[in-house]
């Protein structure tokens, strides 16, 4: 297995956490969160209310907060565990309640399931040393 050894790549969990945070945080923020921010008014009437809060706008606001604000905080490594938990709860609701835990098909929750799985190690592992949290001494 020596051919899989890339000595030019640092073996750092902290660097891996940075790449994971940036890649998936920006992806969630720009591909999903920004659409909710910019199209909030148009989406509010037809957005699902899976928690039966009585307001689709409130559900949309919570999803927007998680997908844009929390994802942005994860990218920065600021309040990382709290922000990752917010994303995970939102993706769990989307996967299990909105998409009926379907991984395939036209209305599948595949993306929610994948984001849930990616933000879990960020929640468990924390932001790593390349983060604002680390600079502030938060573990």
Q: Is residue 4 part of a domain?
A: no
Tell me the per-residue pLDDT of 69-126, one tens digit each, with 9 for 90 and over. 999 999 999 999 999 999 999 999 999 999 999 999 988 999 999 999 999 999 999 9
In total, how many domains does the chain have? 1
Q: Is residue 131 part of a domain?
A: yes
Q: Is residue 3 part of a domain?
A: no
Residues 99 and 90: beta-carbon distance below 8 Å: no
Burial class (CB in 10 A: 0-12, 13-18, 19+), 21: buried
Q: Is residue 59 part of a domain?
A: yes
Please state the pTM of the whole predicted model.
0.90
Q: Is residue 115 part of a domain?
A: yes
Q: Is residue 2 part of a domain?
A: no
- Range of the structural domain that residue 23 is part of: 14-135
> How many Cβ atoms sit within 10 Å of the Cβ of residue 43?
17
Q: Is residue 39 part of a domain?
A: yes
């Amino acid at each position: 297995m020596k051919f899989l050894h890339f000595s030019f790549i640092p073996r750092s969990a902290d660097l891996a956490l940075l790449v994971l945070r940036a890649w998936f945080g920006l992806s969630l923020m720009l591909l999903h969160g920004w659409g909710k921010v910019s199209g909030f008014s148009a989406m509010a009437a037809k957005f699902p209310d899976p928690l039966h809060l009585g307001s689709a706008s409130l559900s949309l606001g919570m999803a927007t907060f998680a997908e844009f604000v929390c994802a942005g905080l994860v990218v920065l490594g600021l309040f990382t565990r709290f922000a990752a938990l917010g994303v995970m709860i939102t993706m769990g609701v989307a996967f299990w309640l909105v998409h009926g835990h379907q991984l395939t098909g036209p209305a599948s929750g595949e993306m929610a399931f994948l984001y849930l799985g990616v933000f879990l190690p960020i929640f468990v592992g924390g932001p790593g040393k390349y983060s604002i949290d680390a600079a502030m001494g938060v573990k």
